[in-house]
Structure 1
Amino acid sequence: MQTLDTLSNAEATSVQFLLTDVDDTITTEGKLRPVALEALYRLKEAGIRTICVTGGSAGWGDTYLRQWPVEAVLSESGAVCLYREDGMIRKYVHPSIVQEGYAQRAEELIRKVLEEVPGAKLSSDQFARIYDIAFDHGSEPPYLDRDGIEQVVRLCKSLGAGTAVSSIHINAWFGSFDKFEGSRSFFQDVLALDESALLSQSCYCGDAPNDQVMFSRFPLSFGVGNIRLHEKTMQFLPRYAAASHGGAGFAEIVDALLDKRR
């Protein structure tokens, strides 16, 4: 990972869309700090369209879209995107999701995990999720250890679910998507931009192992400082990394991008 001062002018000026994770990337210890909110406004004022890409719930996505200066929120690890069009908030669902019987499959997965993995628990915002199932491992005590996390992942996969581990949750879902496939489909079906345009006109910011699929595909990618906590366990790392953690690191990334564009 390179430091932000090595970012080139050409890379910075290519960015029309900034895609970013939320938890521990924009937020710091679960809170949106002024430094990160101001960075989001600076992006908007510079004409860069920000799209949040998160494992968080669609309910949180609705809140972010209404309260933050962002274009869209792709939530639940790529399952559903909320975006504005003609002054209205619209919903885009990934085409691989088979909605008939989905709730029953999700309920069965939840039951098995809670029965078979000691200490496993649902995230407290599970009620706000449409397609995603989130098991909390690092958001609220008691925390789940590494062995417990691995047990949850194995069990979910054995039931045919896709999985991703963020800094706070183990996310599981039924469908052929992840953060990248969700982004690609949204850009293609809603914005009428193909994968080549997505990759050449966008960058991605993240902080955790569940961002690896984005780091592996985007030529221009950034990590906030806390990415270094996971560096030894990750196969794919961002091209650049900020010094500061969380929202302060996100603000550093935005400053570097905008400074190089001037």
Structure 2
Amino acid sequence: MERKIGFIGSGKMAEAIIGGIVNSEFVLPENIYASNRTMPKLLDLNVTYGINVAENNQDVVNKSDIVFLSVTPDKYPLVIDEIKDVVQEETIVIIIAAGQSIAQTEEQFNRNIKLVKAMPNTPVLVGEGLTAISFNQLVTPEEQIEVTRLFECFGKAETIDESLMDTASAVGGSSPAFGYMFIEALADAAVVNGMPRDKAYRIAAQALLGSAKMVLETNEHPGKLKDDVCSPGGTTIQSVAALEENGFRSAIIKAVQANINKMR
């Protein structure tokens, strides 16, 4: 990809995306620019990934064809006011803040601009990310394909209606935290029963990874795949029964709903 990519804000999500792009070799590090409120963070990114350090936010915009606004929602009005006059007509701006809508961003720019709303998750750093994407009407079909391919270079990307973005963010964006908790709990149970912790983490994590891959690659219903593991009167169905008894599904549904309520 010959486009130049810019990042205004260099927090954890921006770093994960930068790492995913660089590791995939989809964009060369010398074609990536980043700005941040503090210089030490930028210097760390320069040393780790070889990207360019920009002097300020306007410098990022001037040097980039695609610009990620990777700051917190409360900083959007200030940043947009700073860059809105230097964003070119063909520049694509990508917003990745929860709760920041396309319509709200268009209003803050106060002019026509190509906008993409994207909600990636942190596994982009290891090439297994999930990004939900929505576009405004000014982004051409060709540009939509280009942006989608950018996110697909470090995982999967799903184009959805923006009205579903909060739900997609809760299920895809925040759920890695749930997965980490599940892995940790499985490992704790293994440690209780005498297994060394490092082995417990590897076994639990690989089992979860393999299960997810089975869902994606077989196209089987998750319930059927679960049933295939549960022999009549066997150990797995006893475990499933214990999870149901303790509200496993209900806890997950409530966690997702709490996430959506917070964003709204």
**TM-score of the superposition, structure 2-length normalised?**
0.30
Q: Which has the higher helix share?
A: 2
The structure that has the greater radius of gyration is: 2
Higher relative contact order (CA 8 A, sep 6+): 1
